Amino acid sequence: MAAFQKLIDLIKEKKTLLCVGLDTDLDKIPEVFPKNSSGITEFNKEIIVSTKDLAIAYKINFAFYEQYGVAGYKALYDTFKAIPPSHFVIADAKRGDIGNTSMAYAKSIFDYFNADSITVNPYMGYDSLSPFFHYKDKIIFILALTSNQGAFDYQKQKINNEELYKLVIKKTSVSYNFEQTGYVVGGTHPEEIGEIRKLVPRHLLLIPGIGAQGGNIDSVLKANGNSPAVVNVSRAIIYPDGSGDYFERVRNKAEYYSKALQIL
């Protein structure tokens, strides 16, 4: 099944937009887990078991694994294998380079890790994006307007009186079909999400920035309307506040966000 239809079916079935981000940091996981790659894997497995009935997707941020070298790549691979095939998996790798390099990145993400989707950086142009789009059954999430403060440095700067992120969306949405193309838009920009939806009502949005980064769920859902989206929550779920059983707290947080991101 093509990744787009897989995600749409999951949204319809579970009636939520919740994606759990696996930004696993050895310094933050409970002491009971060893401070090595097996600790990362075992922690992630517990997170997945605690949340899989509440989430439609998991987003794996490659940087949190790559920092540990070979051992981190093993944890990355094992984490992919631990996610049920029924769920949508986003490789948050933010790749993008000249054509043959991007093709190598695409082979890694889609052939080796078998992810359903990837995040890519569009700022080297079409030849850096096109190798990813050779995989017709995958979704390519293009960085458009990110949730960090640095988004104002370049993405919101104007070229010929139009903001750069809008130019990226307009050009790529014409070049690539909506079943393959999505956009990363931070939940800290609800007003801009509304504007983006006027440009691309049918495209998927990957919306991070909810929870620890302060994005407001009600504002995001209102701005997004009935268009397809997946909303990522990482730290607020996998590193819960409070006392008591750790993974009960994880589940409680996931239940809260799953309900808060519920759609009719």
Torsion of Cα atoms, 210 then 25 then 4 then 164, to 10°: 60
Task: For each of the domains in the chain, give its residue range(s) and CATH number, in order of start.
Answer: 3-260 (3.20.20.70)
Token pair 């995600």: residue:
7
pTM greater than the 0.85 cutoff? yes
Exposure letters 122-161 (e unless 16+ CB within 10 A, then b):
beeeeebbbbbbebeebbbbbbbbbbeeebeeebeeeeee
Tell me the average pLDDT of the chain: 95
Query: What residues are labeled active site?
Result: 94
**Least confident window among 52-56, 60-64, 105-109, 147-151:** 147-151
103-131 confidence digits (pLDDT tens): 999 999 999 999 999 999 999 999 999 99
Mean pLDDT of all residues in 14-41: 96
Tell me if 154 sits within 8 A of 144, measured CB to CB.
Answer: no
Strand partners, 118: 91, 140
